[in-house]
Amino acid sequence: MIEVSHLTKKYGANRAVDDLSFTIEKGVIYGLLGPNGAGKSTTMNIITGCLGATDGDVRVGGHSVVDDPMEAKKLIGYLPEQPPLYQEMTPKEYLRFVAQAKGIPHKEWNSQLHTVMEKTRIVDVQDRLIRNLSKGYKQRVGIAQALLGNPEVIILDEPTVGLDPKQIIEIRELIRELGKEHTLVLSSHILSEVQAVCDHIMIISKGHLVASDTPENLTSLFAGTTTIKLEVMGDADAVRSLLSTVDGIETAALTTEDGVTRCELTQSGEEDVRAAIFTAFADAKLPILEMTRVRASLEDVFLELTSGEAAAIQPEPADTVDETEVAEE
């Protein structure tokens, strides 16, 4: 439905979007996930023809946004991050204004307005001033204007930002509802947000696509990363030398306080090493106060994938950290 190929947007020397390519299939709800400044809004503005690209192209239903923007735009309804709502208009007046701007034939206005107001449940507030509506209702009006013309694709930039928890739940329900009839792309910097409604997640970081998969696959991709948290009554040296006798432990970060050593261990394989740890410490008569196994969550996947450059510029490699901590004791 949408083909984004080698899209690049430069602002001076800064590449807001850097050689980004992906495909949007019909009938799927996509989540564009990334921290603030990742390039989500820039990407959406280019796809919807609101912003020119420095390089690359986007085809919507076969129409290039560069060569054939009018046809491409007809297939998309867009709710930008800051929707241009006219505060002194009522939702009905505003939607009529948008219907005209979109070139919808006059005779269809009433029926289309009725349909989008029903879908977004704003019929009751259609004659109030937009200025006086709650943020949740303003957002519904924004979504209603995106739906005018019944475009195949609906693109929503951070649709739940600034809403209270109840409004967030209502907008999510509306998004799921719309997903039944439209191809949907929404952006968010909050993982739980996209996890709650999207069939497919695309994680972007610094203008790059760093992952693209279903929420389930992204989770299982990283499920091999299992951490074990251990709390032992004993000093760091004793704990470290015992851990070195247990097979399958990759790294150990240790801290000691009041005779209790805490460690975070990473397993190298899939095998459960907890029994071996227990036996080793029991034999050495070092009491284990606590042991928990934590599997990587999608949250961890997201943080890992979007913290790439920040991690790379840290002065100390991770495996020297525990040495420093031990030396300080």
Chain contacts with ligand ADP (rule: CB under 6 A) = 11, 14, 16, 34, 36-42
Residue 38: contacted member of Mg ion, ligand ADP, none (CB under 5 to 8 Å, by partner type): ligand ADP
Decide which of Mg ion, ligand ADP, none touches 16; Cβ closer than 5 to 8 Å per partner kind: ligand ADP
Per-residue mark of binding to Mg ion, 179-198 (x: CB under 5 A): --------------------
Q: Which is nearer to ligand ADP, 96 or 200 (CB)?
A: 200
Q: Residue 211 corresponds to which amino acid?
A: A
The item of Mg ion, ligand ADP, none sharing an interface with residue 42, based on CB under 5 to 8 Å by kind, is ligand ADP
> What is the strand order of the sheet 260-267 is part of?
249-257, 260-267, 226-233, 288-295
Under the criterion CB under 5 A, does residue 41 sit at the interface with Mg ion?
yes
Q: Which does 234 bind (CB under 5 to 8 A by kind): Mg ion, ligand ADP, none?
A: none
DSSP 4: E
Residues 123, 127, 128, CA angle at the centre, nearest 5°?
105
- For the bound state, the minimum distance from the C-beta of residue 53 to ligand ADP, rounded and expressed in Å, comes to 12
Supply the DSSP symbol for 124: G
By CB under 5 A, residue 160 contacts Mg ion: no
Q: Output 159 or 234, the one with its CB closest to ligand ADP.
A: 159
- Considering only CA atoms, which of 222, 221, 170, 232 is closest in space to residue 196? 170
Helix (H) or strand (E) holding 283, with range, is helix 274-283
**CA–CA separation, 204 and 211 (whole Å):** 7
User: CB-wise, 90 or 160, nearer to ligand ADP?
Assistant: 160
Angle at 227 between CA 294 and CA 211, to 5 degrees: 85
What is the pairing mode between strands 29-33 and 183-188?
parallel
Considering CB distances under 5 to 8 angstroms, the limit depending on partner class, which of ligand ADP, Mg ion, none binds residue 11?
ligand ADP
For the chain, the first-to-last Cα distance in angstroms comes to: 60
Question: Which residues, listed in sequence order, are joined to residue 17 by a DSSP beta bridge?
Answer: 9
Please count the helices (runs of H) and the strands (runs of E) in the chain. Answer: 13, 14
Which positions from 72 through 101 interact with Mg ion, judged by CB under 5 A? 81
Please say which residue, 35 or 248, places its beta carbon nearer to Mg ion. Answer: 35
Residues in the interface with Mg ion (CB under 5 A) total: 3
Give the residues across from 205 on adjacent strands: 208
Tell me how far apart the alpha carbons of residues 110 and 106 are, in angstroms, rounded to a whole number: 8
Q: Name the minimum Å distance from CB 126 to Mg ion.
A: 29
Structure tokens at 294: 């934590």
Q: Across-strand partners of 63?
A: 60
Min separation Cβ 75 and ligand ADP, Å: 22
Identify what 34 binds: Mg ion, ligand ADP, none; CB under 5 to 8 Å per kind: ligand ADP
In the bound state with ligand ADP, the residue whose beta carbon lies nearer, of 112 and 139, is: 139
The helix/strand/coil state of 238 is helix
**Is there binding between residue 226 and Mg ion (CB under 5 A)?**
no
We find the least distance from the C-beta atom of residue 34 to ligand ADP, in angstroms, to be 5
Task: Output 257 or 309, the one with its CB closest to ligand ADP.
Answer: 309
Q: Which amino acid is at 178?
A: L
Cβ nearer to ligand ADP, comparing 14 with 21: 14
Residues that bind Mg ion (CB under 5 A): 40-41, 81
